[in-house]
A = this chain, B = another copy of it.
Amino acid sequence: MPQTRRFPQSIYALPLADNRLRLDRVPRQADPLAERLHRRQRLAGAFRLFARLGFEVGVAGHFTARDPIETDHYWINPLGVPFSQLRVSHLLRVDGEGRVVEGDGPLNSGALKLHYHLQKARPEVVGIAHLHGLHGRAWSALGRPFEPLTAESAAFSGSQAIFRRHDLRDEQGNPERRPERLTRAFVDSFADNDLLIWQNHSLWTTGASVESAAWRSILADDSARTHLLAYAAGRPVIPDAALAAASIAPDKELADWLNFLPLWDRISAEEPDLLD
């Protein structure tokens, strides 16, 4: 390793053979307490990155991480703390009843049910992110899924859903207003996809790690931006989805986890107070 390297880069800690990465799945901390801290740190780091990417709109935006010990608990950012100031110690642990069992601060209670029921319905999920990135919101207004226009957006082929909340109706044909029905429809729409496009609202992503959920949030806003640009300028070529998928990493969870590493290295080096 070069002696002049100033910051620890995560990639150098991964197993190599002949200078090729040899990693067949996302590593986890053996110690559950270390894994808990790991998730909380990545959650806080993701908010710092989201702040830089302009994903913060007032008090909107929440990102939860399942607790590795109490697996029906999850960690969430408190309401109203600026993303750019968020630290590990700000995070709240919430139990299945929506009670704060660790940490102190105001909850964004509006979104609790959605996170809780989605975490419950999908035991493989660790991270669930909902941010109000500009491009994701603008694209959501078009009510259309992503096409495999680029390698980045092709990663969502076959793993995205659209949620049309305004179209839900009750038994009398009136707009559905019952919270439990909206929550169920949201969970049903999401199904086992990585991405949910909430029409006329914004994007949600999930991941089997905090890292992959965070990366998919970034990638989804990026995909929205490339779609907006390409469709504004003309008529993009849409490759066959199966063909496009063939050039996507076979293990998306591993690939998306890996893609988050340089971002983590950068943010943890530049804003180490996020670890406090």
Contact = CB atoms under 8 A, between A and B. Distances in A.
Contact of A234 (B12, B142, B177, B265): B142
Contacts of A154: 200
Given A11-B80, A228-B230, 5 more contacts: A11-B106, A20-B106, A59-B259, A82-B266, A232-B233
Nearest to A81: B9
Given A100-B19, A141-B236, A80 B261 contact: yes
Interface in A117-162: 132, 134-135, 137-144, 148-152, 154
B135 A6 contact: no
B228 A233 contact: yes
Nearest to A150: B137
Contacts of A11: 78-81, 105-106
Contacts of A262: 56, 58-59, 80-83
Most chain B beta-carbon neighbours within 10 Å: one of A106, A109, A258, A263: A106
A74 interface: no
A219 to B, nearest CB: 8
A145 to B, nearest CB: 13
Interface string A69-92: 000000000111111110101101
Contact of A175 (B16, B81, B233, B243): B243
A247 B164 CA distance: 13
A134 B227 CA distance: 11
A246 B177 contact: yes
Interface in A207-239: 215, 219, 222, 225-237, 239
A179 to B, nearest CB: 12
A132 B154 CA distance: 14
B269 A20 contact: no
A142 B239 CA distance: 11
Given A2-B89, A16-B106, A150 B138 contact: yes
Nearest to A15: B106
A139 B231 CA distance: 10
A19 to B, nearest CB: 4
A64 interface: no
A74 to B, nearest CB: 14
